Every structure is written in C-alpha cells, then in structure tokens.
Amino acid sequence: MIKTAITPAKGGLPSRRLISDVIYASGAYQALLKSRVPKRLVLAPVDILPGDGERADNIFQGHFEFGGFSLERDDQEPWHVEGMPLAWHKELHEFAWLRDFVANGSEAAKRHARALIASWVTEFGIFRPYVWDEDVLSRRLIAWFCHSPFLLEAEESDFNYEFLRSLRRQYIHLSRLAKSKTKDPDRVSTWQALLYGALAFPDMSKQCAKILASLETELGRVVLADGCHISRNPERHLTLLGELIGIRNTLMSANEMVPVAINNTIDRLAPAIRFFQHGDGSLALFNGGLRLPDGLCDNILALSDATGRPPQRFPQGGFERLKAGRALLILESGEGGRDAQIQRDAGLLSFEFSYGRERLIVNCGAVRDPDSAWGKALAATAAYSTLGFDNINAVFPPREPSGENPEHVTRNEDEGNIWLDLESNGYSDSVGVLHRRRLYLDASGQALRGEDQIIPERMPPSGRSHFSLRFHLHPDLSISRSASGKNILIRTPSGTGWKFLTAAPRLALEESVYCSMPGERRHNQQIVINGQLIDQEPILIKWALTRLSD
C-alpha cells in the first residue's frame, strides 16, 4: 500500500474557486435546496456488491485506505487530513465503504457509521468543491440510499432528521446538475442516484419515468453497438454491469417495469466482460482499468443472468481477442476511432497474453489518480506492450462523425490457427512512420509469432528516430537470458517454460513496473527491442514466444 501522497492536498482538499463553486456556495443558492424533510424512505435500493467487515474494523481503528493510499489517524475522523491526493479524498466522500459496515452488522458498526455521517453533515452539509461535484455526489447518494435501513434508527431521532435533510438537499442539487452540460463522459451514476431518490422519497415517484428515459439515452451513448464502453476500460464494463443489475433488481423490488434498454445493455455488457477476462478470472489492464477482488468478476456475471459468449472482436470498441487452446491474447486495435476528450491512454496496438491462469505479457496497469505523475506515466505508450518512439505517445485515430472509420484490421482463421494483420497511423504526424503488426497464434496456443514493420513516410524529425518494441512481463515470472544471450527464457509459477526469440540485434531486459490493483507497485521486467531509423527504408522485426516442452 502506498503510504505517501502523489499529489499533496494541503489542509485536506485542494483549493478550487470556479464561478460555479462561488454560485453553489452562496446563501441564495443554498436556500434553493431547502425542501420538506421526509420522515422516512419508502424503499431501499439494492446494493449487489459485497462488503468487507474487516475493513470496517480497520476504519473504526483509524486506518483509512482509499484510492490505493493508506492513512493512520487517531481521532477516527478523516475529513481534514493533509498530504493525501484528491483520489483518496474522493473515494472517502463517496461513502462506498458503508457496505463494509453493513457487512460487519454489529451495533457498534451502526453507531460508528452514524457518527461519521453526522460529522460529515456538520462539516460538508453545504456545498464544498469536489465533495459536491457530480461524480462524487451521485455515488454518495447511491450509498446513502442503499444503506439507509442500516443507518436509520427505528424511532424518530435527531440523526434521522439530519440524515434525511442532508440526503434531500444533496438530491436536489444533483437534479439541478443533471440538467446542465458536463465534462463527465459517463453520467450513468447520476441517473442511477436520481432514480433511487425518486423511488425512495415518498413524494418523488412521478419523476421515475422521466429519469428512466434519461438513463436509457445515456446508456445508448456510453455503450457502443458492439457492447464496448466508450472508455474502453475493462473495469468500467464490470462496474457498469453491477450498477445496472442493482437498478434492475431495485425496480423489480419496487414492482416497477424494467426498461428493455436496461436488460439489453446487461445482455451486451456481460459478453464484453468475458471478452476481457484472462484465464485467472480477472480483467485485462487497458485504459485505466485495474483488477478487482478475486471472484468479483464471476460473481457479478452470475448475478447478471446473461449467458452470452465473448465475441472475437469489438469493431466499434477497437479490440481483438485471439483464443487457441489454453492461450488468450487481447489486443487494442484502435478500430472505430476514439474521442480525444475521452481517450487518455496511448496503448495503440498493445496486447496482453496469458496461458491458462498465468499471465505472461502484460500492460503496466494504472492508479486511481490519473492526473498524478504516476497516472500520466502509466497512460503513456511506453507502459504498454507495443511499439514506441522516444517517449512519444501514439495517437489513436479520431472517431469519425459518421461513425464509419476505415478498417485497418484483417483477421484470418484456418483449422484453429489465427492470423491478425493490423495497421496504425499513431506516429504518422509526430514521427512520420506507419506501424504494421502481424500476429500469428497456432491452434495449440503454444506458439505466438509476430512481425512488427516500421515504414517511414518521411525522415523523422531530429531526436525522434529511436524506437523501442516493448513486451512487459508479469512480475510472478522468472526471467533469464539464454547462454548465447540471444533469447529470453521465462518460467511461470507452475513451472511451465517459455522462450522469447528474435533475430533483432539489440535485445534487452529492462526494469518495469506493474500496478494492477490500487496501491500496488510491483517491480517486474520488460523485453525491449531497440533500434533507430537511419533512412526511409522499412524495418521489419520478427519475434516469437513459444512454450517449451515439459
């Protein structure tokens, strides 16, 4: 667990003073949030995710672990700590950790959860930047609605009044935010929170139809026709599926009809998640996605009741999946184009490769704070298993307004053998080269061969001619060079041997880093083939990864 902050937040939350912050914090605006306080809620939405009672004990003891960062605090109230990054504060104020107190289930857990909420209402009951932003606010409301039966006391009390009063004020503010434009590319949580409020507040039920219509529109925007989410983040596919299952089950418990669009999206997301699943049951690491606790992926898929098989490819999402024997390769082709405002990572034509439950070639992962130095480094092309130039990031093709993009992917199969031919213009503007990648996976899954061709379209600018073809290796692998130094030998934890071969003259083993879970930062190695463009002659690099006989 990371003990120090990447982006210090002096005195707690970072300072921010936007025009909207000034308006929302004004007395006039706060007066608009006043409303009749309900005495009760008529429904508790369904939270399908399991809690961790031990984590609640840790919080009770002053150990706060959020966003991959850990804090020890004696007074048990974490609201104004110094030195923690914004990602830590956001996760704290989202209150998803309430499910851990529910999992604990004790009276002491109830009292402590109520005490934390009461102190939060005192400190943040009126608008504060970040804390009342749409993304954090919507997730906090979802948590408060879902766990209200655990929090509310049986008889009327001061806590019940203050809790419901704050819940109502926050809900009204979110409903106002929902009417405005936002930079957030995914507002499903906003409409989920508003739907839960419409179902839970006794006087809001008439809003349900309108909110559901907005939710359906949002789902049509963020989930592409092939089932891929616009973020291309495998983890977001899973969390979105969990949100939709919760919405579906909540509507059913309220005897409300579940819209066809929600059921259809669940049916499309489940195969998409299976697409990104490696043999160990966890998801591949692309575009900011991280691993979630073991078994969670399969549990959510089981709750979805969707049995669709994973597709071979996402033509709109821009991914390819090669499965042969026990081998699995997942590659980001970039097909379909990307919205530059959404696409942060630069892993064009990168891939991950696993055999059975063991991962061999990986990407470096991510952190919860994408704007931090580490977040930016892990989003760079060099953090992916693909071709890079002098620490310059590859650029994904733009998404055409018509929705039609020229195809740069050709796939052929014959008797279980799979060929994949891809082409990338990701360095056309910055370096002036075309990258062609050809992959072949044999039917047994025990031989992966590749050809990476670099075709100069012009002489690259000064200082941009050096390239590196990277293959990041999972940290559980044992890596060594052959006696000749020309091959790389790989041994998996189960004892299986693999050999990486290439005729390229500049083959190296270099240090890398692996961040697959919040707070994780493991040392690993990467195979790197280095080279330099001398003239406008194309360069062809051939390589292979083969399983050694037992």
Q: How far apart are CA 108 and CA 139, in angstroms?
A: 25
Quick one: which of 412, 383, 378, 408 has its CA closest to 396? 408
Residue 545 is predicted with a pLDDT of 98
Residue 8 is predicted with a pLDDT of 38
Quick one: which of 167, 147, 59 has its CA closest to 96? 147
Position 161 in a domain: yes
Residue 400 is predicted with a pLDDT of 75
Helix (H, G, I), strand (E, B) or coil at 476: coil
Position 113 in a domain: yes
**What is the pTM assigned to this prediction?**
0.94
Same domain? 207 vs 250 = no
Structure tokens given for 442: 């044999």
Structure tokens given for 403: 């929705």
Same domain? 446 vs 419 = yes
Same domain? 32 vs 161 = yes
Same domain? 5 vs 84 = yes
Helix (H, G, I), strand (E, B) or coil at 543: strand
Position 334 in a domain: no
Same domain? 60 vs 117 = yes
Quick one: which of 364, 425, 419 has its CA closest to 398? 425
Position 340 in a domain: no
Same domain? 169 vs 272 = no
Q: Which of 160, 183, 211 is the last residue of a domain?
A: 211
Position 307 in a domain: yes
Same domain? 415 vs 304 = no
Residue 425 is predicted with a pLDDT of 94
Same domain? 207 vs 290 = no
Buried b (16+ CB within 10 A) or exposed e, 280-308: eebbbbbbbbbbbeeebbeebbebbebeb
For 208, phi then psi, to 5°, come to -60, -45
Same domain? 157 vs 91 = yes
pLDDT-above-70 percentage for the chain: 96
Same domain? 391 vs 514 = yes
Q: Where are the alpha helices (DSSP H) in 85-227?
A: 86-94, 98-104, 107-124, 134-146, 148-151, 158-177, 188-200, 208-222
Q: Which of 164, 181, 211 is the last residue of a domain?
A: 211
Position 162 in a domain: yes
Structure tokens given for 44: 């508790």
Quick one: which of 198, 201, 193 has its CA closest to 210? 198
Q: How far apart are CA 255 and CA 1, in angstroms?
A: 44
Same domain? 396 vs 503 = yes
Beta bridge partners of 354: 328, 359
Q: Are strands 522-532 and 507-514 parallel, antiparallel or unpaired?
A: antiparallel
Position 338 in a domain: no
Domain count, the chain: 3
Structure tokens given for 57: 């004990």
Show Cβ contacts of residue 537 under 8 Å, excluding neighbours closer than 6 positions.
Answer: 456
Helix (H, G, I), strand (E, B) or coil at 45: coil
Segments forming the whole domain that contains residue 69: 1-211
Q: Which of 191, 211, 231 is the last residue of a domain?
A: 211
Position 345 in a domain: no
Buried b (16+ CB within 10 A) or exposed e, 462-492: eebbebbbbbbbbbebebeeeeeeebbebeb
Q: How far apart are CA 229 and CA 401, in angstroms?
A: 18
Residue 403 is predicted with a pLDDT of 57
Spans of the chain, pLDDT less than 70: 1-11, 76, 401-407
Helix (H), strand (E), coil (C) string for 277-322? ECCCCCECCCCCCCCCCCCHHHHHHHHHCCCCCCCCEECCCCEEEE
Cβ–Cβ < 8 Å for 543, 449: yes
Q: What letter does residue 206 receive in the DSSP assignment?
A: G
Same domain? 231 vs 204 = no
Residue 183 is predicted with a pLDDT of 74
Helix (H, G, I), strand (E, B) or coil at 276: helix
The pLDDT tens digits for 400-459 are 766 556 668 999 999 999 999 999 999 999 999 999 999 999 999 999 999 999 999 988
